[in-house]
Chains A and B, each alone.
Chain A
């Protein structure tokens, strides 16, 4: 059974810091991995999608990497801003079943 773990559960940083969020998964037979952002009481917004054959994806100040063999992904946020405060979730799509399984999320607070 695929299990997805995110560390840390919560993070508080001053504005301007670079930071890394971690995601690990137990079954390397994935189709892709996706990072999402969730604001309180809202749905999820897709940030980055990495296919199983890719190593990283970049969008603006965000960079996501994928190491399928070790079952790990990282989301790097450069020059953090208060507007980045949200919960960040990673999800893996199983290559065998099509299931989309989520981690518990990392709640980020960026202080001005």
Chain B
């Protein structure tokens, strides 16, 4: 089945640690996106990538980093510089043509 997979579903981080969230897609999509969602809020764009080996900052990139070494993978690292990382993180991919976006099921990150 084609789709987009995020792992893990739940993640706990100690203060001062870096953690990496995984996002993998087998839809052969060029564009991939990372969003953060806080309770009762909409989605805010962290980073996006329209092609392998290239990515751009979104609206809230501070404290986050990404890489795009393979078309199917777009991991997000939440660094210790992110002061309030507890949130729900969503990854999306989008193909060419009609450019419909598809989302993973999300990773809930909690700082303990």
Binding site for B on A (CB under 8 A): 6, 31-32, 34, 36, 41-46, 49, 51, 89, 91, 93, 97-105
Contacts of A46 in B (CB 8 A): 100-103
Contacts of A31 in B (CB 8 A): 99
Residue of A nearest to B104 (CB): A43
Residue of B nearest to A101 (CB): B45
Indicate if the CB atoms of B31 and A49 lie closer than 8 Å. no
Docked Cα-Cα span, A22 to B101, in Å, equals: 20
Docked Cα-Cα span, A65 to B76, in Å, equals: 35
Across the interface, A89 reaches (CB within 8 A) one of B42, B48, B99, B106, namely: B42
Q: Tell me what chain B mostly uses at the interface: helix, strand, loop, or mixed.
A: strand
Contacts of A93 in B (CB 8 A): 94, 99, 101
- Asked whether any CB of chain A lies closer than 8 Å to the CB of B1, the reply is no
- Asked whether any CB of chain A lies closer than 8 Å to the CB of B33, the reply is yes
Known: A98-B48, A99-B48, A100-B92. A43 touches B105 (CB 8 A): yes
Known: A32-B98, A43-B106, A49-B100. A103 touches B42 (CB 8 A): yes
Across the interface, B45 reaches (CB within 8 A) one of A36, A45, A89, A100, namely: A100
Q: A41-B106, A46-B103, A100-B101 are in contact. List 14 more A-B contacts (CB 8 A).
A: A32-B98, A34-B100, A43-B6, A43-B105, A44-B43, A46-B101, A49-B99, A91-B43, A93-B94, A98-B50, A99-B48, A100-B33, A100-B45, A102-B42
